Amino acid sequence: MLKTLIKLAYKFWPSLYKKRYYKTLKSLQSKKYKCEPELLYLKQVLKKDSVFIDIGTNKGIYLYQAEKIIKTGKIYGFEPNINLVNYIQPLFPKIQIIPAAVSSTSGTAILNIPKNGEKLQDTRASLESLEGNVEKLEIQMVKLDDWVQENNLKSIDLIKIDVEGHEFNTIKGCESILKEMKPVLIVEIELRHAQYPLKQIFDYIESFGYETFYFDRIKTALEPFDFQNINSFQKEDNANDFNNYINNFIFKPIR
């Protein structure tokens, strides 16, 4: 009976379905986090007329948080896994979700989706090579600089990037945006995923006139980030603990 009601809600009452589907957001008020605390930061940086780009939309929790704030602006999502796009697009009919990955070049690529038995682990899909049992899916790639120009975007307030180790290539496709539009960035950067010297991406983004911060879980505010702390921020034992594991970094343009 419950499963039937959930299916009906998905089809006919998406707002009700989303309230249940993204119920972990309630933990943001308790500070016993069951989702990324950086979702709180969206309320601090976005306004009703903001332009927000979500790269690595996945199941849409950032879209859900952003649409509660942005009313007259624009929200765009990029998600290469067509199965996820088909699932979340009906939940966000006013948001344009582009079925593509964002990288340093445009073209086609292979998305690697880990499998646990026969079950796909969509949240861990990556353009980077993965060990173990994976399903390979041919997908489209776009360079965000080109996409922004083709779609005549004049400003971007915030870009969130969560691409499981492909973030450096994603950022390299945003050079003109970083130089000219200066959006705030939220980028997931992890020791366990990166296949490059990690400090390089911090230095690269900062070379465009940015400062690096992290979202303090206690103060619920930004604090300056010192790269020397990366190992203590990402202890393997805390990998599934949103209260103690910090893998999202906020880059703000120096004004």
| pLDDT value at residue 31 | 84
CA 171/CA 53 separation, integer angstroms: 13
Tokens 């990690």 correspond to: 198
Q: Which of 39-48, 78-87, 108-117, 175-184 has the lowest mean pLDDT?
A: 108-117
Domain span at residue 20 reads 2-253
CB 145 within 8 A of CB 169: no
Q: Give the pTM.
A: 0.94
Count up the domains in the chain and report the number: 1
CATH number where 176 lies: 3.40.50.150
Which amino acid, residue 138? E
Distances (CA, A) of 14 to 35, 65, 76, 90, 254: 21, 15, 19, 8, 40
Distances (CA, A) of 97 to 54, 76, 114, 132: 9, 6, 23, 30
| pLDDT value at residue 169 | 95
155-207 pLDDT tens trace: 999 999 999 889 999 999 999 999 999 999 999 999 988 888 899 999 999 99
Q: Which of 141-150, 185-194, 210-219 has the lowest mean pLDDT?
A: 185-194
3-state secondary structure of 137: strand
CA 124/CA 114 separation, integer angstroms: 7
20-34 pLDDT tens trace: 899 999 999 988 999
As beta bridge partners, residue 143 has 103
Place 61 in a pLDDT band, splitting at 50, 70 and 90: very high
| pLDDT value at residue 126 | 79
| pLDDT value at residue 39 | 97
CA 185/CA 173 separation, integer angstroms: 14
As beta bridge partners, residue 251 has 185, 212
